[in-house]
Structures are given as C-alpha cells and as structure tokens.
Amino acid sequence: MLEKNPEIDKAAAILRAGGLVAFPTETVYGLGADARNREAIARLYVAKGRPARHPVIVHIADVIQLQQWACDITPVAQKLARAFWPGPLTLVLRRAAGVHDEITGGQDTVGIRVPSHPMARLLLSAFGGGIAAPSANRFGHVSPTTAQHVKQEFGDSVALVLDGGACEVGIESTIVDVTGSSPVLLRPGHISALRIRDATGVSPAMPAAGSPRAPGTLAAHYAPRTPLEIVQAGLMEKRAQELTRDGKRVAILARVSTLRAGTAWIAAPTEAAGYAHDFYANLRTLDAAGCAVILVEGLPDTPQWAAINDRLGRAAVGSQRP
C-alpha cells in the first residue's frame, strides 16, 4: 500500500505547480492546494465559489510540522493533538509568521489538521508541505463523501480527483479553538465534546456569537438544492400525505423502513456513526429524485447525534434560500 503510486506522484506534482487536487480524507473529500502558494489558494476560492476572506484548514502529514504553521502551542493543544491526530480533529491555533492571509482569512489564527486517511497521508508525504483544503463542494452545498460526488460538483474543472472510496466518518472534522487556556468547540464532529473533555480535563466551551468566522458555522450550509424540512418522527407519514395530496412529489429520509408515503425514500442507519457515514450521500440521492421537498425525520437530541443535528439544521435553513 505504501509503495510508489503514480496517481499520488501526479497529484503532488499538480500541487507543486499551483494546481488543485481533490483527495479523500476520513471525514469528507477535500479540494487541495499548496498552502504556501497564494495563487493556488486564490484558485481554490474561485473553484468553490467561496466568498473571500474565509479561513481554510491546512492539512499536514505529521504533528512535527506544526511549528511551521502555528505558534504558542498551548498544553491543551498538545493534549488534543496527542489524543486525536491523525484523525478527524482540526485545531485553531495562533498562526506562525509567514502564514498567508489567504489561509487565515486575515485572522491571527490558523486551522490545522493531520488526517488519517491512508491516501491523504500518502499525498501529504509525497508533497511534503501543507495542503490547504476546504471540503470539495461548491460553497454552501452538500459535502462530498465519494470521488463521484466531487466530480458531480466540479466536472472537469479540477485536474485530478484521487479516489479513496467512501469516507469513513462522513461529516466534517470537529473544530476546536485552542488559542486560550480552555478549548472552544467551533464545529461539532465525530470527536465529541465528551472526548475532548476526557483528553484535556476541561469541557469545551461553545463559541460566543460573532467569534471566529467559520462558513461551516453559518446558519445556512451543507444544503441540497431541493427544499428540506425536518419532521418529528411520529408525524412523518401524515406530513408526507399532506404534501402528496397537494400534488407534490416527496422524498423521505427516515430511520424506519415501514413508511409507505413519498415518491422516494431511504431507510437510514439507526445508529449515529452509520447515519453520519451515509448522511451526505443520502441527501444527494434524494436531491436527485426530482421531488418538491425532502422530508428528514428529526433525530434524538442527545450528544451522540449533536454533530449530525448541527449539519441537518443548517441543511434545512440553507435549502430554503432562493
């Protein structure tokens, strides 16, 4: 698996030349650019249709490279890096001298992550430097969890898409601001607040309103093109029938397979990890079903489901934009 891989060498060469490469991580696919190359980062923003001055995560091969990108590495940061890297955790740290404003969105902090996906690790070691990579979707849209999704988002405008299969976690990394003495959870993810507390001895705080800008924390995000409505579990059949009576085609995502209502439906996995793994792919499938609305069964309000509820809530808001 670690022997020479011509696709990886080609991808590293594209990055060195200032081009864009999509690659798998354990969370979602990323659209990568050389994090030291301003023009390459500008290309990333254009490809994604992302508003300027939003910060982007720098992916590195190993914690050893951290000092090239960040300074004032706090004890809490060290504990989290030791506990969860490589893995689905992004740390927001004070930026080191020379880290471009295009990466940090002009802030004095930088988001860093060591991914665990074998193909991401091979790419990072072949390239040698940091890879700036937002999720490989058009701004505000559903994140991609397969190479096919990335191709659907960008067509031929991305030179190379490395195919590493379906992403294991399926939702974006947990983001923790570790610039202060105690951690602040900027984006929930597979690594829960509880695990962060266990690793650091401190429960992470929730961000104050208006604190570090994060597009993934905008109310509208991760959205399919079809309007999405969250429906309380027991009311699904009734709501679907109502809409159907009005002549609307209805797509349903629910954790039960006994529903008869709706034009298209998916029975989602019943436990949180499986649900997250399939979540974005399921939204894409239902989005493509040509329905007037996607009804998604409301999920339990428990810590296990927190990261998924976060994405689902934003998808519902985002899908109602004109």
Binding site for Mg ion (CB under 5 A): 135
Which of 37, 135, 226, 319 is close enough to bind ligand TXA by CB under 6 A?
A: 135
* 110 versus 147: smaller Cβ distance to ligand TXA: 110
* 129 versus 134: smaller Cβ distance to ligand TXA: 134
* 174 versus 226: smaller Cβ distance to ligand TXA: 174
Q: How far apart are alpha carbons 298 and 252 in whole angstroms?
A: 11
Rg of the chain over all Cα atoms, to the nearest angstrom: 20
Q: Of the listed pieces 53-61, 192-200, 243-251, 299-307, which binds ligand TXA according to CB under 6 A?
A: 53-61
Give CA torsion, residues 214, 54, 182, 220, to 10 deg. 0
* 168 versus 172: smaller Cβ distance to ligand TXA: 172
Question: Residue 177: exposed, middle, or buried by beta-carbon count in 10 A (0-12, 13-18, 19+)?
Answer: buried
Q: How far apart are alpha carbons 182 and 202 in whole angstroms?
A: 7
Q: Which does 25 bind (CB under 5 to 8 A by kind): Mg ion, ligand TXA, none?
A: ligand TXA
* 52 versus 202: smaller Cβ distance to Mg ion: 52
Binders of ligand TXA among 72-91, rule CB under 6 A?
Answer: 90
Count of chain residues binding ligand TXA (CB under 6 A): 28
* 56 versus 293: smaller Cβ distance to ligand TXA: 56
Distances (CA, A) of 16 to 5, 65, 146, 226: 17, 18, 24, 38
* 109 versus 200: smaller Cβ distance to ligand TXA: 109
Binders of ligand TXA among 259-298, rule CB under 6 A?
Answer: none
Q: Which does 110 bind (CB under 5 to 8 A by kind): ligand TXA, Mg ion, none?
A: ligand TXA
Binders of ligand TXA among 55-74, rule CB under 6 A?
Answer: 55-57
CA 311 to chain centre: 10
- Give me the least distance between CB of 289 and ligand TXA, in Å please: 25
Q: Which is nearest to 89 in space by CA: 21, 141, 27?
A: 27
Q: Of the listed pieces 20-28, 145-153, 260-268, 288-296, which binds ligand TXA according to CB under 6 A?
A: 20-28
Question: Residue 25: exposed, middle, or buried by beta-carbon count in 10 A (0-12, 13-18, 19+)?
Answer: buried
Cα angle value 306/308/310 (rounded, 5°): 70
* CB < 8 Å & 24+ apart, contacts of 134-137: 134/30, 134/31, 134/44, 134/48, 134/50, 134/56, 134/57, 135/28, 135/29, 135/30, 135/31, 135/172, 136/22, 136/28, 136/29, 136/30, 136/31, 136/161, 137/48
* 214 versus 251: smaller Cβ distance to ligand TXA: 214
Tokens found for residue 26: 């354990």
- Give me the least distance between CB of 290 and Mg ion, in Å please: 26
Q: How far apart are alpha carbons 211 and 175 in whole angstroms?
A: 13
Binders of ligand TXA among 86-125, rule CB under 6 A?
Answer: 90, 92, 104, 107, 109-111, 113
Phi then psi for residue 36, to 5 deg, are -100, 0
Q: Which does 30 bind (CB under 5 to 8 A by kind): Mg ion, ligand TXA, none?
A: ligand TXA
Q: How far apart are alpha carbons 63 and 112 in whole angstroms?
A: 10
Which of 11, 12, 28, 196 is close enough to bind ligand TXA by CB under 6 A?
A: 28
Site residues, ligand TXA (CB under 6 A): 25, 27-28, 30, 54-57, 90, 92, 104, 107, 109-111, 113, 133-135, 172-173, 175, 186, 212, 214-217
